[in-house]
Amino acid sequence: MLTRRTFLQSSAATALATRLFAAPEGSTKPNPELENLGAVALREAKKLKASYADVRIIRYRQQFLTVRLNPERGTGKTLEVPAVSDGGSFGFGVRVIVGGAWGFAASPLVTKEEIARMTAEAVAVARANAALMTKPVELAPVPAYRERWQTPHERDPFAVPLEEKLDLIRSAAAEVKKEKGVFAAGCNLSFRSEDKYFASSVGSSIQQLNLQTYGQVNATATDFKRALSKSRRYQPQQVTAGYEYVPLMNLVENAQRIREEVIEHLNAPPVTPGKKDLVLVPSHLWLTIHESIGHSTELDRALGYEANFAGTSFLTTEKMGSYRVGSDIMNIWGDRTTERGLATTGFDDDGVKASKFPIIEKGIFKHYQTTRDQAHLIGERESRGCCYADNWSSVPFQRMPNVWLEPGKSETNLDDLISSVDDGILIDGDGSFSIDQQRYNFQFGGDAFWEIKHGKKQGMVSRVAYQSRTIDFWQACDLIAGPSYWQQWGAPNDGKGEPEQINSVSHGCSPARFRQVNVIQTD
Amino acid sequence: MLTREQAKKLTDKALSFSTFPECEVSVNSSESAFIRFAVNDVTTSGFTVEQSMSITSIRDGKTGSTRVDEFDDDSLRDAVKRTERLALISPANPERVPPLEPQKYPEIENYAASTAGARNQAMIPHIHAIIDGARTNSLVAAGFFERSAETAAIANKQGNFGYGRTTDANLSATVRDSAGSSSGWASRPAVQIEAIDGGAVAKTAIDKCLRWKEPKRLDPGKYAVVLEPTATGDLVQLMGFSMQARAAEEGRSFLSKKGGGTLVGEKLFPEFITLRTDPFNPLYSALPWGGGGFGFRGGGGGGGGLPAERMSWIENGVVKNLFYDRYWAAKAGKPATAFPTRLVLDGGDKSLADLIASVDRGLLVTRFWYIRVVNQQTVQLTGLTRDGVFLIEQGKVTSPVVNFRFNQSPVEMLKNTIAAGRPIRVRGGEGQGMIAPPLLVKDFSFTSVSDAV
């Protein structure tokens, strides 16, 4: 009989991700079998007169473990409800330019015959589109690379015994439920790998392994008399890293903290609405950076390519280089090289090497996020490396790199931010979020809120959201804590495009202060 | 795409590798073709074939799941083995329900060969109509035309098997002036692609754009609103998630009663408000199952896979039914129900123009955007108006208005509804949409102004 332990040993050997993409330890070149498959698409595309072609062959793997503790209906006895899944996906997508127009086709059958068939399909799609096209696609130049890249990691998360992961999430959830007033508790871990091969008619052949690691602890408290329910979450930083990051999440220790805080949240008085100073810590501010600055500086939005779905941008192209978005202390970078950032990688899906570039300098808007087919539209000669597709079956397009806020002076600490606030709120964690289609007007909630009175952090308040306009908000930013406070949070599910695609992205920052923002009281 | 026979063979094959007493599989295969256009040009376009199988193995309540998209014997054998190994390691799930015995599924064959076969050549003339219409008016068009065909099957070791196939298509377009100071939008979802008319979509979007010039800035506050059907659907579709019996009984829902219990049987809404699920409505594409669980198969809890059925959630203003998954139903001694999807909000005979004519002072809203839940319990939502807000005075549309942000629960909104018009199938910018009427609502809460166009 297979015991837990024997499976743990054998699971790594039968792992989904190893079959095709295995390469000798330390190899710096892509797998030769993949290079042969990729060459089929490039050959077929050339034969069919494509002026450009690329192919991505990708194997994904996703493992998700969760446990929920909740009372049984009728008895009140605590039930432990687990769920474990481990799955994957494998396929390829071919992109071509024929007659100046893009064409794309994708299939899950990774054989030479199917790659040739779908390449012809992509060419047919491009030909049909060329009939409507008025401006041919123009690609910024890119060098050819033959490389292998992987997320720096010490411990492959898929090789770590499931039992070890289950033990951890069960003990963290149990820790939350130790507080009698907690109605339900949960904890989860998830891991995602993207083993991607890219080849293009430019001559590139690139294989990359991207690894993501996620965790969370949550708590719900309910008061039946008042028919009122509140929650509290511990959201560790989401990272590109291996399992070595999981112990750093301190799930159990933070479970002890949130079980107290959820009760405080349930009983916290509602906020008094009005203009207040906000002190926003990185677990919250990442999302405001994402929505107000990350999306508004995407070139496809500014040019109208997203007009039917995600929208356009208040940062129109004539504003590039001179328009003031924020105060002098606001410096923002686009960066696909940030350590542990969710958008960090070796090369983008155009085969452009990952880089770092200034988006906002001293409050002034400097550069857009771009891809190879966009750079010329604003007179630039090279792409900023922001091309990504969320699946082998998805068309690559402009997606956000890690977009992060530079920290303040090294001597500035969190107390400095709080001490001169007379009437304010400190917000931790993300809550509801909404912003208009040109990124002017936004509203953000949070996960937990503390009142600041006369320079001191007080007890928790509830039902808080703030509303502002992007430029008013960033111009009201008057102090940012130093580099030792800098942390990045992010999301694996940023949506854009039609058909909608998701993107993983991180936004680093230090705690920052914003003066006189409109705070509202929600339900 | 898989035929019934192919799907049966494939699920039989996967189940033959199972050594556990329980194994559930679901298989999907799809083909989709799409064209995206912007700045009066085609931008991206593609043709995509996808397939996947989800497998769950269960023994003594211990459950393991996986998803694969390679269907050769070795891949399926490995996948089933993997789920069994995961289950052995996993703790038992105390909320697991017994496997379904063979079910009798209804015939829902809302599949149009015309949609399934349509490729770029069939879609491009409609896009031409939109781009040409925009150019003629010196405007700029962007949009998306997609059609998809899908087959799905579910099966388990107890001999249950179901098969269904669907098609769907949607064309949407946004038309803006070249200065970016005005915007209009329209969309048309349909099971049968021939029901989609690019010329009609173009006309609505262009008309909206031309009329929404130099909008007036009004103060935020509570307004009477006439919601076009898309705007109604944008908000009401989010109520489906809040109809769960479990959340209501556990004090986490707007349907929770103070002190415990639920509000089932109480009249919360006006007499003419009826919200229901109808997978048989010919305007929708639907699979022949969908009850008893959160997915069509279920998994970690709840169950799933019960035959599709009609179900009223709110009937003549009274909270009629809550959603019971199979686990919660068994605990509560109630029958499991349909999941609140394929929603229909009934209306009346009035046209949009009739509703507008009955308003003394209010706002006409085309649609909403970036709608997010602020408070799960009260279903308070925030979001913004988009692509056309107009002032109504003395029964007439008098001037365009700058966009607003709202903070409003659709629950309160339905309580404040004065009249409903003729329902149509709608699909806005987010979510799958629903069948919804135009509504006249009092005291709709706008909390700030947005300069976005």
B102-111: per-residue pLDDT in tens? 999 999 878 9
How open is the CA angle B163-B169-B172, to the nearest 5 degrees? 155
How many Cβ contacts (< 8 angstroms) between chains A and B?
A: 284
Domain total of chain B:
2
Residues B68, A374: Cα–Cα separation, whole Å: 36
**pLDDT bucket at A463, cuts 50 / 70 / 90:** very high
Least CB-CB distance to A229: which of B50, B252, B452? Answer: B252
**Pair (B83, B171) in one structural domain:** yes
**Token code pair at residue B117:** 């076969």
Please name the member of B41, B66, B369 whose beta carbon is closest to the beta carbon of A85: B66
Same domain, B99 and B163: yes
CA distance A308 to chain B (A): 5
Pick the closest to residue B146 from B235, B280, B37, B3 (CA basis): B37
Nearest CA in chain B to A223: B251
Interface touch A308/B256, C-beta < 8 Å:
no
Q: Is A107 at the interface with chain B, CB within 8 A?
A: yes
Which of A80, A101, A125 has its CB closest to that of B46? A125
Residue A127 in contact with partner chain B when CB distance is under 8 A = no
> Where does residue A390 rank: exposed (0-12), middle (13-18), buried (19+ CB within 10 A)?
buried
Report DSSP letters for B184-232, one per residue: EEEEEEESSGGG--HHHHHHHHHHHHHHS-S-B----EEEEEEE-HHHH
Say whether A81 and B250 touch across the interface (CB within 8 A).
Answer: no
B372 touches chain A (CB under 8 A): yes
The C-alpha angle B351, B357, B359, rounded to 5 degrees, equals 115
Whether the pLDDT of residue A14 is over 50: the answer is no
Residue ranges of domains in chain A, CATH in brackets: 27-267 (3.30.2290.10), 274-521 (no CATH)
Nearest to A437 among B95, B252, B386 (CB): B386
Instruction: Please judge whether A84 and B65 are an interchain contact, meaning their C-beta atoms are less than 8 angstroms apart.
Output: yes
Taking CB atoms and an 8 Å limit, are B42 and A129 in contact across chains? yes
Are B108 and B29 contained in the same domain? yes
- Which H or E run includes A412? none
Statement to judge: residues B169 and B304 lie in one domain:
no
Q: Domain ends where: B175, B195, B210? A: B210
For A157-186, how does the pLDDT look when each residue is reduced to its tens digit (9 = 90+)?
Answer: 999 999 999 999 999 999 999 999 999 999
Q: Are A64 and A216 in contact (CB under 8 A)?
A: no
Mean of the pLDDT values across residues A509-517?
A: 98
Domain boundary among B184, B210, B236: B210
The residue from B156, B191, B210 where one domain ends is: B210
Quickly list DSSP for A454-522: TTEEEEEEBSEEEEEEHHHHHHTEEEE--GGG-EEEEEEEEEETTTTEEEEEEEEE--EEEEEEEEEE-
For residue B293, the model assigns a pLDDT of 77
Instruction: State whether B374 and A220 contact (CB < 8 Å).
Output: no
The answer to whether A159 contacts chain B (CB < 8 Å) is no
pLDDT at A348: 98
Cα angle, residue B380 at apex, residues B377 and B385 outer, rounded to 5°: 160
Same domain, B93 and B167: yes
B301-310 pLDDT per residue, tens: 456 899 999 9
Q: Within 13 Å, how many C-alpha atoms sit on residue A465's CB side?
A: 26
* Confidence check on the interface: ipTM exceeds 0.85, yes or no: yes
Q: How far apart are the first and last CA of chain B?
A: 42
- Do B166 and B285 belong together in one domain? no
Query: A163 contacts in B (CB within 8 Å)?
Result: 89
Burial class (CB in 10 A: 0-12, 13-18, 19+), A440: buried
| pLDDT 10s digits, B350-396 | 999 999 999 999 999 999 999 999 999 999 999 999 999 999 999 99
**Residue in chain A nearest B36 by alpha carbon:** A498
Same domain assignment for residues B307 and B372: yes
B19 touches chain A (CB under 8 A): no
Residues B283 and B255 in one domain: yes
Taking alpha carbons only, the member of B117, B44, B52 closest to residue A109 is B52
Tell me if residue A219 falls in helix, strand or coil: strand
pLDDT at B300 over 60: no
Q: How many Cα atoms sit within 13 Å of A292 on the Cβ side?
A: 26
CB < 8 Å to B402, chain A = none
> Is the per-residue pLDDT at A11 higher than 50?
no
Q: CATH no. for residue B201?
A: 3.30.2290.10
Across the interface, whether the CB atoms of B88 and A105 are under 8 A apart is answered no
pLDDT classification of A433: cutoffs 50, 70, 90: very high
Which residues neighbour A145 within 8 Å (Cβ) at sequence distance 6 or greater?
A204, A205, A206, A347, A351, A353
Share of chain A above pLDDT 70, in %: 95
**Which pLDDT score, from 0 to 100, does residue B381 have?**
98
Same-domain status, B123 and B258: no
A520 touches chain B (CB under 8 A): yes
| A302-328 confidence digits (pLDDT tens) | 999 999 999 999 999 999 999 999 999
Contact B86 A465 (CB under 8 A): no
Residues 189-228 in B contacting A (C-alpha not used; CB under 8 Å)? none
Domain match, B278 and B297 both: yes
**Domain residues for B452?**
214-453
Yes or no, beta carbons of A85 and B67 under 8 Å apart: yes
User: What is the pLDDT at residue B262?
Assistant: 96
Residue B303's pLDDT is what? 67
Task: With beta carbons less than 8 A apart as the criterion, state whether B69 and A91 touch.
Answer: yes
Could you give the 3-state DSSP secondary structure of residue B114?
helix
Distance CA B85, CA B63 (A): 9
Residue of B nearest to A81 (CA): B93
Say whether residue A133 is in contact with chain B using an 8 A CB cutoff.
yes
Q: Where are the alpha helices (DSSP H) in A14-131?
A: 32-47, 112-130
Identify the band that residue A23 occupies on the pLDDT scale cut at 50, 70 and 90: low
State how far the Cα of B375 lies from the Cα of B247, in Å rounded to an integer: 14
Verify that B219 and B254 share a domain, yes or no.
yes
Given phi > 0 = left and psi -120 to 50 = alpha, else beta, which region is B117? alpha
pTM: 0.95
The rounded distance, in Å, linking the Cα atoms of B283 and A7 is: 49
CA closest to B384 among chain A residues: A436
DSSP reduced 3-state for B68: strand
Contact residues, chain A, for B258 at CB < 8 Å: 224-227
Which residues make Cβ contacts (< 8 Å) with residue A167, sequence separation at least 6? none
A interface mutation test: which of B42, B380, B385 has the most A CBs within 10 A? Answer: B42
Judgement on whether residues B364 and B239 belong to the same structural domain of the protein:
yes
Determine the distance in angstroms separating the CA of B169 from the nearest CA of chain A, rounded to an integer.
Answer: 12
Kind and range of the H or E element at A165? Answer: helix A162-177
| Contacting residues for B15 by C-beta, under 8 A, at least 6 apart | B23, B25, B155, B156, B157
pLDDT band at B60 (very low <50, low <70, confident <90, very high): very high
Q: Which of A308, A395, A397 sits opposite B143 (nearest CB)?
A: A308
Over 50: is that where the pLDDT of A2 sits?
A: no
Is the pLDDT reported for residue B324 higher than 70? Answer: yes
